[in-house]
Structure 1
Amino acid sequence: MRWTRAAGRGLLATALILVGYAGTGARAGEVADGDGRGPMTLVTGGDLTSYLRGVLDDWNRTHPAEKVTLVELPEAADEVRAQMTTSLRSGSDRFDVLNIDVAWTSEFAAAGWIAPLDADRFPIKRFLPPVVETATFGGRLHALPYVTNAGLLYYRKDVLDKAGERPPRTWAELKRLAKTVAPEYGLDGYAGQFLPYEGLTVNAIEAVQSAGGSVLANEGARVTVDSEAARKGLAFLTDGVREGWIPEQALTYKEEESRRAFQNGELLFLRNWPYVHRLASRGDSKVAGKFGVVPLPGPQRRAVGVLGGSNLAVNAHSRHKESAADLLGYLTSERVQRQVLTEGALPPVWADLYTDPALVRRYPYLPTLRQSVLDARPRPKSPRYEQVNLAVQAVVHDAMAQRETPDHAVARLARELGAIVRRG
């Protein structure tokens, strides 16, 4: 989950109160105990919907000795990560439970900041299988999946219907339609999130994975990006800009900029997260009732996407780990996961919810999202994920801006990632 996304802004209204603490040790008025139980703090990034307040209020009513106080950090993802890591690195028990981006799990686990979890304590067999992989490191469960996400392809159904075309299932079909149909209707062809930030890393890794390649292996110990598949994946993006079916303006897009371009009727195709569906369906949207959603295309079949979302982890220095584990079980229960979808408008991790007839009628994109999640993989696991992220986004943006060829860009990325791995 990226707090700067409109998957966290626009869709998500800030409705929580910032609560501050200082220092470590026992909290005011609290008696330390030795059974791992007691009141807790749950820390998260900003811009969560108000459903979480009600969920925690329900917990607090039935657990008066283990009440949860919500701590909301600033909206920007880098600031969230900075405040969390500063506190964890110091050994503070300020936060008991952390709601973290799935990409941070391996880094936090490798550093020893979050406690391993007993997998048998939680209903992980009821979750969509790929999301559990985002919460493991070194063969152990270090967090619990809470919210998932996968990219989808939004398309102008009205335009394709007029042109007598179907939504694309492969890159070749996407390219053809973006080059030929889009201009006939005064539209740009295709956009994703191509500003140099983590959104570009996700888009790039999706392209590389879909072409059959990878960036890192062995949990960040081996660089695998120097491959023909990686060059093919990167060429898909760079060729789009060079040939004009990806507009140059898209190199400045994050989630919200790209969503607005599609919603304002400027794009034929958009790669974005599920949150766009609700906003693009509102009465003030120029494409309401005119668009459809399908899985992202790949070279020969559906793309191999990148999982987004957030995981819940327990601070290794928490004095109330038993209570924290119970809270994780509560927040990932089927009842609360249903609220994640119906009240929080976020994709849940429980598999059965994606085939619930009543929910599918209310959220018709659920079957497509389920397939996209099942096809997706976690972002590259690395104890130095933030450095990996910065290297990928910088190199790929240079290539999309036509400053480097895909061949040179992949070779450069292999060198930079190699240096990061050797520093490990």
Structure 2
Amino acid sequence: MVRSLASRLLVVVLAAGCGVSGPSHATSDGPTMDTSGPITYAAGPDLTGYVHPLVDKWNALHPAEKVTLLELPAAADDQHAQMVTNLQAKSDRYDVLNIDIIWTAEFADSGWVIPLDRRQFPLDQFLKPVVDTGEFGGKLYGVPYTSNAGLLYYRKDILDKAGKRPPKTWAELRQLAKTVAPKYGLEGYAGQFLPYEGLTVNFAEAVQSAGGTILTDDGTKVAVNSPQARQGLDFLVQGFREGWIPKRALTFKEEESRAEFQDKKLLFLRNWPYVYGLVSRPGSKVKNDFGVTLLPGEDGPGSSSLGGANLAVSAYSKHQRTAIAFIKYLTSLENERVALTQGSFPPVWARLYDDPTLIKHFPYLPVLKNSILAAKPRPVSPNYNQVSLAISNAVSGALSFRQTPDAAISQMAGDLGSVITNR
């Protein structure tokens, strides 16, 4: 999902008693406080229990540089709020930050994390699109740790009965959703269409899959007022208007849409790789009846939005040398394998997606690799939260027929222009 199973929750940040030290901005590629010692790793909750053993192993090998795992709230928004409050206070409480890839630009632009020497990390062994998510202004600020990309889940048993192949284009998806789905008592298609980050992702994928973009690559200009963006929005609006996307999908986030598919109510579902493990479990109604493929696009396979997490070093950490060494440790080939096999997080090392043993246990890996390679980051901006809000608000208006697609695109372009101008 957008931030590896994140949900929404409110948190109050307690900053009292936090020490303050370190520079306000890093000025070189590497540690500005080049010392070793105990550090704190701030990350979301270790829901699968794979992180604690990795930390214990590090601590056994580095008794003078022990790592304390600080588990933040489950909700991505609340992790962001807690980190930002800490960093704005120039607190040295956090050393290594596990950040959503969409926060990299904001944290780098604000001087909260230091630039890193790319030569210290095996970036040439990582999938190229995930490396790009750690860069800002030509420098590396985040080391890729996990990745993610959207997939199209489909009822293989139903398509087999109908003598049909999984769709590669929007036209094929629309046709199958309109004709095959009702024949077998199913709804056609769903994604995540509640006005939140998931809707921004679904819209961005539609725009990319039509050959367009929302902002320019450097995030300095609005590019959404284009025929391609209108095509992407029209595709989604058409689904709701014609009924092959059910109206109730306007309330769907990741889990609601996953439940609909798992309960045999949908022919097609756009969602993240985590869904594969859940719908494959014993007791799942579709355990042996589904498949996955690339998202369809205007003229062929489409383009997903990238998800995942990067590891960054706080500009206010007192022990940045240890922080960098711990990032090297977590992103090693061995521990990336652990993140996949025990944590179910898509890794960043390219070779793991081609490992026959892993593919046997995670059959979606080849499709996911292709999805990541064709994926693009969401709009890059230090003010990403405002960018996302402008997108989801406008798209929601079009999907619920409160305004025309043209009006929604015009509103979005104007709002995005204001966000960029007010940086």
Task: Name the residue aligned to 2:405.
Answer: 406
**Quick one: distance in 2 between partners of 1:252 and 1:208?**
21
**Count of residue pairs brought into register by the alignment:** 408
One-letter identity of the residue aligned with 1:92: S
SS for the counterpart of 2:201 is helix
Aligned residue for 1:212, secondary structure, equals: coil
Contact kept in structure 1, 2:196 and 2:389, CA below 8 Å: yes
SS at structure 2 position matched to 1:286: coil
Which residue of 2 is the match for residue 14 of structure 1? none
2:289 counterpart residue number = 290
RMSD of aligned alpha carbons: 1.7
Could you tell me whether the CA contact under 8 Å between 1:114 and 1:313 is conserved in 2? yes
In structure 2, distance between residues paired with 1:408 and 1:334 = 48
1:15 aligns with none
What's 1:305 paired with? 304
Amino acid at match of 1:210: S
String of CA shifts for 1:341-365, please: whole Å, max 9, x gaps: 1000110000000001111111111
Amino acid at match of 2:211: G
Check conservation: 2:153, 2:268, Cα contact below 8 A: yes
Pairwise CA distance, 1:35:
4.4
Contact 1:192 1:258 in 2 (8 A): yes
Map of 1:306-385 to 2, 5 A cutoff?
Answer: 306-385=305-384
Deviations 1:134-181 (A, max 9, x none): 110001000100000000000000000000100000000000000000
Structure 2 match to 1:159: 158
Measured after TM superposition, the shift of residue 22 of structure 1 is 4.8
Measured in 2, the distance between the counterparts of 1:175 and 1:294 equals 16
Alignment match, 1:17: none
Q: Is 2:62 the counterpart of 1:68? A: no
Shift of residue 25, structure 1, vs aligned partner: 2.6
- Aligned partner of 2:17 in structure 1 is 23
Hey, what's the Cα distance between the residues in 1 that align with 2:130 and 2:57?
26
> Which one-letter code corresponds to 1:422 in the other structure?
T
> Which letter does structure 2 place at the counterpart of 1:230?
A
Question: Is 1:199 aligned to 2:198, yes or no?
Answer: yes
Determine helix, strand or coil for the equivalent of 1:24.
Answer: coil
1:90 matched residue in structure 2 = 89
Per-residue deviation at 1:218? 4.6
Kindly state the Cα deviation for residue 282 of structure 1 after the two structures are TM-superposed.
Answer: 1.0
Q: Distance in 2 between matches of 1:192 and 1:137?
A: 30
- Asked whether the equivalents of residues 210 and 233 of structure 1 are also in contact (C-alpha less than 8 Å), the reply is yes
Does the 8 A contact of 2:45 with 2:71 survive in 1? yes
The equivalent of 1:268 in structure 2 is 267
TM-score normalized by structure 1? 0.94
For residues 2 and 213 of structure 2, the distance between their equivalents in structure 1, rounded to whole angstroms, comes to 22
SS of residue in 2 equivalent to 1:217: coil
**3-state SS of 2:249 partner:** helix
User: Is 1:204–1:396's contact at 8 Å kept on the other side of the alignment?
Assistant: yes
**Stretch deviating more after TM superposition (366-375 or 44-53):** 44-53
Determine if the alignment matches structure 1 residue 226 to structure 2 residue 225: yes
TM-score normalized by structure 2?
0.94
Partner residue in 1 for 2:392: 393
Q: Distance in 2 between matches of 1:35 and 1:243?
A: 61
Residues of 2 paired with 1:396 and 1:300: CA distance?
Answer: 22
Please give the per-residue CA displacement for 1:387-420, whole angstroms capped at 9, x wherever unaligned: 0011111111111111111111111100000111
- Secondary structure, in 3 states, of the residue corresponding to 2:408? helix
Structure 1 position 253, deviation (Å): 0.5
The answer to whether the Cα contact below 8 Å between 1:21 and 1:94 also exists between their aligned partners in 2 is no
- Asked if 2 retains the 8 angstrom alpha-carbon contact of 1:47 and 1:75, the reply is no
Residue in 2 that maps onto 1:31: none
- Cα distance in 2 for residues equivalent to 1:218 and 1:245: 33
The 3-state SS of whatever aligns with 1:147 is strand
